[in-house]
Chains A and B, each alone.
Chain A
Amino acid sequence: DADVTQTPRNRITKTGKRIMLECSQTKGHDRMYWYRQDPGLGLRLIYYSFDVKDINKGEISDGYSVSRQAQAKFSLSLESAIPNQTALYFCATSDTGDGNIQYFGAGTRLSVL
């Protein structure tokens, strides 16, 4: 089983709908991150959490919210989806040691029509 699991892997939704993307990890890491990937823009940080009680905005948090339900779970929500939120979304985890290497899930491809 993958260390960082994202569900669903693919999702198509309509403008205005609320949608949740889920991430769970078995690596025992305290730190978790949500990114979106767009062609030509690389990965951009949406939100990150350094422990269960810690939530921080990244560079592009508008239109998104997150919930850290447990050390192993970090969910990303789009409260009212819009077409420009169509993208590939990645969850990642890291530990405080080892240079803070981040480990990524396989991604969720989201299309907002």
Chain B
Amino acid sequence: AQSVTQLGSHVSVSEGALVLLRCNYSSSVPPYLFWYVQYPNQGLQLLLKYTTGATLVKGINGFEAEFKKSETSFHLTKPSAHMSDAAEYFCAVRFSGNTGKLIFGQGTTLQVKP
């Protein structure tokens, strides 16, 4: 079955520290990959996406993610966390043949400590 797994439902970092949020998916065919962010009481906003081409993708707010086919992963990183990065982050995958449907991971809540 097609699935998306985010390792760690809660991640806590200090302000200025590296942010690493993990996402793995189940597929041998490269899918389309997305990271969304949800701030409190808001809908989801697209951070970045991978469809084809360069495997290192840069998004908004200093975030980036790298598609690694051999590891079926699409981990999200940011070199230096800001307090404003505190939110819930969702990895989503459009698997080949799914004609536009996204499958979401369980979400990771990022806490940023002063």
Chain A residues engaging chain B, CB cutoff 8 angstroms: 4, 31, 33, 35, 40-45, 48, 50, 58, 90, 92, 94, 96, 99-107
Chain B residues engaging chain A, CB cutoff 8 angstroms: 4, 6, 9, 32, 34, 36, 41-46, 49, 51, 90, 92, 94, 99-102, 104-107
Asked if residues B46 and A42 are in contact (CB atoms below 8 Å), the reply is: no
CA distance A101 to B60 in the complex (A): 15
Asked if residues A107 and B43 are in contact (CB atoms below 8 Å), the reply is: yes
CA distance A106 to B6 in the complex (A): 23
Residues of A with C-beta under 8 A to B102: 45, 102
Residue of B nearest to A101 (CB): B46
Partner of A104 from the list B44, B105, B106 (CB cut-off 8 Å) is B44
Q: Given A31-B100, A94-B100, A107-B43, A101 and B106 touching (CB < 8 A)?
A: no
**Chain A to chain B: the 10 pairs with minimum beta-carbon distance, closest first:** A104-B43, A42-B104, A99-B51, A43-B104, A104-B44, A42-B106, A106-B43, A100-B100, A42-B107, A99-B32
Residue of A nearest to B46 (CB): A101
Residues of B with C-beta under 8 A to A41: 106
Asked if residues A105 and B90 are in contact (CB atoms below 8 Å), the reply is: no
